């Protein structure tokens, strides 16, 4: 198995946007519509208030994830995605660990995230990574099927 390499990139970088569009298409196929209408500004993912990371296998971008500030000491996980061909190879776990490390390095003490109930693989991964259900928040807090999770770093 190839080693996973994680690189910080700008949210609006072409490689990031390619993966984000794939993530939104995946969500659109699961939920309909655009996949996610949460307002997101690329500037929110600039250090020290956020970061965006891309995972590479054999030099190819195969996954991504980022965080943005959600209050003074909390990071919100956004745009986690692994390309179908790379799933089951530890990419998402590597990205999640790198996102958590980045947030911790910028003084965040907690990570929160929104997910949907039609993403059982993501829900299972978050649970196995120590995330617990929290009250829904954010753009989809009142949406049917929204599930939110949090974890202390």
CATH number at residue 110: 3.40.630.30
For residue 103, the enclosing domain spans 4-152
Into how many domains does the chain fold?
1
Question: What is the three-class DSSP state of 90?
Answer: coil
Report pTM: 0.95
Whether the CA torsion 100, 50, 66, 122 is positive or negative: it is positive
**Each residue of 81-108: pLDDT tens digit?**
999 999 999 999 999 999 999 999 999 9
Q: Is the pLDDT of residue 2 over 80?
A: no
Give the mean pLDDT of 60-84: 97
Spatial CA neighbour of 57 closest among 6, 116, 127, 110: 6
**Count of helices and strands (H, E) across the chain:** 3, 7
**Each residue of 17-30: pLDDT tens digit?**
999 999 999 999 99
């Amino acid at each position: 198995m190839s080693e996973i390499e994680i690189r910080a990139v700008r949210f609006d970088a072409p490689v990031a946007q390619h993966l984000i569009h794939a993530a939104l298409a995946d969500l659109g196929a699961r939920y309909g519509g655009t996949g996610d209408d949460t307002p997101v500004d690329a500037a929110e993912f600039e250090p020290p208030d956020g970061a965006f990371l891309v995972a590479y296998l054999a030099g190819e971008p195969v996954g991504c994830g980022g965080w943005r500030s959600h209050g003074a000491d909390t990071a919100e996980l956004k745009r986690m995605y692994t390309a179908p061909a790379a799933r089951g190879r530890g990419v998402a776990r590597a990205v999640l660990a790198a996102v958590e490390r980045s947030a911790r390095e910028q003084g965040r003490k907690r990570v929160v995230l929104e997910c949907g109930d039609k993403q059982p693989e993501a829900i299972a991964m978050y649970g196995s990574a120590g995330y617990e259900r929290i009250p829904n928040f954010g753009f989809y807090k009142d949406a049917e099927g929204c599930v939110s999770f949090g974890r202390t770093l």
